[in-house]
Amino acid sequence: MEKKKRNLILSVVSILVLIGFIIWAEECTKAFGVYNQRIFKTCCIYAICALSMNMVNGYTGLFSLGQPGFMAIGAYVTAFLTVTPSDKIAIYKIVPISEGLANLNAPFFIALIIGGLVAAFFAFLIGFPVLSLKGDYLAIATLGFSEIIRIFITNAQGLTNGPTGINRIPNDFMNLYVLCGILALVVIFILSMMKTSYGRALLAIREDEVAAQAMGINLFKHKMLAFIISGFLAGIGGGLLASLVGAIDPNQFKFTVAYDILLMVVLGGQGSVSGCIAGAFIVRIALEKLRFLDEPINFGIFEYPGIGGMRMVVFSILLMLVIIKWRKGIFGNEEFSWDKVFNFFSKFKKAPKKEVEK
Amino acid sequence: MAAILETRDVVIRFGGLVAVNLLNIEVEKGEIISIIGPNGAGKTTAFNLITGVYKPTEGVILFDGERISGKRPDEIAKIGIARTFQNIRLFKSLTVLENVLIATHLNIKSNLFSSVLKTPKARKEEKEMVEYAEFLLKETGLLHLKDEKAENLPYGLQRRLEIARALATKPKILLLDEPAAGMNPKESDDLTEFIKNIRDKFNLTILLIEHHMQLVMSISDRIYVLEYGITIAKGKPQEIQENPAVIKAYLGEENDDLC
Ligand SMILES: Nc1ncnc2c1ncn2[C@@H]1O[C@H](COP(=O)(O)OP(=O)(O)OP(=O)(O)O)[C@@H](O)[C@H]1O
Ligand SMILES: [Mg+2]
């Protein structure tokens, strides 16, 4: 009881602090910095993408790499529907856009949801052939799907403006309130869903497919469910990214995006919402903050010339060290809890005591 | 009485190997039937055929007079056949309670959205699922461990949890694959009582694979003996103990076990 009360107070306080920080970061642009604001926003979006992957890879135990494809669909739908008709006509230079298509327009949030739904629909369509595949085969098939989407986008000039992509995407709503709000909604949805019988069924499939099926769980139906939700979330992530960046082209959705997201999920902990969010923030922030390694640094005595790609090398080494220490990611497949924080620190407190006793 | 479960001339081949050959089992409602036989005789394969993990190469399997061979395992579980596994297959990193709850999912009526939104109906259903799971854990003596991770349970209790989980699907017939494996004589005596108990309490029919002869002889209404996939004998425990073919083929070296 004591502990419960303590944990509740701690949770309320930290949520308030977090909200305070978000307000400060958004309002005091000068103090926090436009650059840091942008990193924060990107982190939120990637956290949604990581949670999308976690739905399938972490909870259901499948190995899917379809995120870039679903993100691209969400991004293009959102961009297409939010760029004003006159801007669209101006942008589509090589193959002019038909008037009907140019006039298709929707308010940002509606466009975003439509983007998510279209991505979810594609997940549903490709779910039929690919969800019966196991392990690596599913990964290859979904990666293939992502590439097909990208190549389609590159070539469907009249619809997507081909390799040039779409720019002038309005970013009216790309503030921290909206992004953190959407992330919070996603988190609440996932946590509530995982507490239902359907969530447990997904976990059962992850734990033991044969046993799950023997207990009456329709594997295909439940994998499809996870896949569709994952597709929807990735679509939303893509839509937000399009709006934040303001310009998209097919190369932003190369299959390497899937590895970046996989990295976040594995680093944070597959099957853990806290882990995915932590992973997304750590990876995005580290990639940005290690940028100085690519540029020359003057140490006085000797000058580091700045090697392009050096930050990736350092980053990968750090990552390997982390994974060696925490094999299952920072959070494993469990959620953050105050009890764990206290246990973690009490370990440190006790350790020196023992030494004294000896 | 009509058989609740019946296999008719069921054959399965894995490449050149005939793992089960012309299997004809008939199980009547309320019976406890054992399948025995040396290692590799095809006992587990017979279970896998009945539960839909494998499709028979030839023959049909009937449940309550309806053909179930060709259906998926989850469909067969819904029809009312539940099982345990020879090499325990629990949902290891989930809790004892969750393991049982998952097996109640097949009868769920609420859809995903009403479950997530916690509509009164969905909330009520979830509460009933938890109550039923806890009732089963109480029946199997595991209630005090409900928040423990399944993998942390000792071996004997894991086997029990598998039975509780199977019961949660509300089966008409329960297939137990070597439930006494690794148990000492005292534990396997307890298990005998336990199996009879759940049969009566849950109105079950039980099909059992077991190597512990004492348990088999004291619990079974009838026994089927398999060897190399072929049914070499069937009958009441007494008849099996006296059957020269069985003694020769299977019990030759283990004759002591029979008494
Ligand atoms: N999927 C499969 N593919 C190929 N061969 C198989 C397969 N499943 C079972 N077998 C073979 O079928 C035979 C019967 O196996 P089964 O597991 O049914 O034996 P069992 O009677 O349960 O033995 P045990 O007492 O050791 O559990 C064995 O020779 C086994 O190798
Ligand atoms: Mg076996």
Distance from CA of A225 to the nearest CA of B (A): 9
Domain boundaries, chain A: 12-270
Residue B235, SS3 per DSSP: strand
Distance from CA of B151 to the nearest CA of A (A): 11
DSSP letter at B196 equals H
Residue B19, SS3 per DSSP: strand
8 A C-beta contact, residue A250 and residue A58: no
Say yes or no: CB of residue B44 within 6 Å of ligand 1. yes
Q: Determine how many CB atoms are found less than 10 A away from the CB of residue B91.
A: 27
Write the residue with the smallest CA distance to atom 29 of ligand 1. B40
pLDDT at A355 (0 to 100): 44
pLDDT at A296 (0 to 100): 80
pLDDT band for A119, please (50, 70, 90 cuts). very high
What domains are defined for chain B?
1-80+172-259 (3.40.50.300), 81-170 (3.40.50.300)
CA dihedral (A116, A118, A119, A125) positive or negative = positive
Output the CA–CA distances (angstroms, integers) from residue B19 to A137, B44, B56, B176, in the order listed: 29, 10, 11, 19
Q: What number is the ipTM of this complex?
A: 0.93
Q: Give the C-alpha separation, B205 to B176, whole Å.
A: 11
pLDDT at A351 (0 to 100): 53
Q: Best mutation site among B21, B25, B45, B50 for ligand 1, i.e. most ligand atoms within 8 A of its Cβ?
A: B45
Q: B199: closest CA among B219, B179, B178?
A: B219
- The CA B213 to ligand 1 mean position distance, Å, reads 21
Mean pLDDT lowest among A27-41, A171-185, B235-249: B235-249
One-letter amino acid for residue B76 of the chain: I
Name the residue among B101, B106, B112 with its Cβ closest to that of A216. Answer: B106
pLDDT at B200 (0 to 100): 94
The β-bridge partners of B8 are B60
Per-position DSSP letters for B84-146, written without gaps between them: --TT----TTSBHHHHHHHTTGGG--S-HHHHHTT-HHHHHHHHHHHHHHHHHHHHTT-GGGT
Q: Environment class of residue B26 by beta-carbon count within 10 Å: exposed (0-12), middle (13-18) or buried (19+)?
A: middle
- Return the ∠ at Cα B47 (arms to B45 and B48), rounded to 5°: 60
Q: Give the C-alpha separation, A146 to A345, whole Å.
A: 43
What residue has token string 């390997």?
A: A320
Which one is predicted more confidently, A344 or A25?
Answer: A25
pLDDT at B237 (0 to 100): 92
pLDDT band for A349, please (50, 70, 90 cuts). low
pLDDT for A287-303, tens place per residue?
A: 888 888 877 877 777 77
Which one is predicted more confidently, A321 or A48?
Answer: A48
What b/e string do you get for A59-77 counting C-beta neighbours within 10 Å, with b at 16 or more? bbbbbbbbbbbbbbbbbbb
pLDDT band for A97, please (50, 70, 90 cuts). confident
Region A48-52: mean pLDDT is 98
Distance from CA of A55 to the nearest CA of B (A): 15
Which one is predicted more confidently, A343 or B199?
Answer: B199
Residues of chain B predicted below pLDDT 50: 255-256, 258-259
Q: A292: closest CA among A265, A272, A314?
A: A314
Per-position DSSP letters for B23-67, written without gaps between them: E--EEETT-EEEEE-STTSSHHHHHHHHTTSS--SEEEEEETTEE
A178 phi and psi angles, rounded to 5 deg? -65, -45
pLDDT at A358 (0 to 100): 38
Task: Classify domain A12-270 at the CATH topology level.
Answer: ABC transporter involved in vitamin B12 uptake, BtuC (1.10.3470)
One-letter amino acid for residue A16 of the chain: L
Closest atom of ligand 1 to B226 CA is: 21
DSSP letter at B12 equals E
Would strands B205-209 and B173-177 be described as parallel, antiparallel, or unpaired?
parallel
Does the predicted model carry a pTM greater than 0.90?
A: yes
pLDDT for A188-240, tens place per residue?
A: 999 999 999 999 999 999 999 999 999 999 999 999 999 999 999 999 999 99
Name the residue among B73, B115, B118 with its Cβ closest to that of A214. Answer: B73
B219 phi and psi angles, rounded to 5 deg? -105, -25
The 3-class secondary structure across chain A, one letter per residue, is CHHHHHHHHHHHHHHHHHHHHHHHHHHCHHHHCHHHHHHHHHHHHHHHHHHHHHHHHHHCCCCCCCHHHHHHHHHHHHHHHHCCHHHHHHHCCCCCCCHHHHHCCCCHHHHHHHHHHHHHHHHHHHHHHHCCCCHHHHHHHHHHHHHHHHHHHHHCHHHHCHHHCECCCCCCCCCHHHHHHHHHHHHHHHHHHHHCHHHHHHHHHHHCHHHHHHCCCCHHHHHHHHHHHHHHHHHHHHHHHHHHHCCECHHHHCCHHHHHHHHHHHHHCCCCHHHHHHHHHHHHHHHHHHHHHHCCEECCCCEECCCCCHHHHHHHHHHHHHHHHCCCCCCCCCCCCHHHHHHHHHHHHHHHHHHHHC
Region A56-83: mean pLDDT is 96
- Using the predicted structure, report yes or no on whether residue A79 has a pLDDT greater than 80: yes
8 A C-beta contact, residue B176 and residue B195: yes
Would strands B3-14 and B17-23 be described as parallel, antiparallel, or unpaired?
antiparallel
The two tokens of residue A140 are 């290859």
pLDDT at A51 (0 to 100): 98
Region A108-119: mean pLDDT is 98
pLDDT at A356 (0 to 100): 44
Chain B within 8 Å of A226 (Cβ-Cβ)?
no
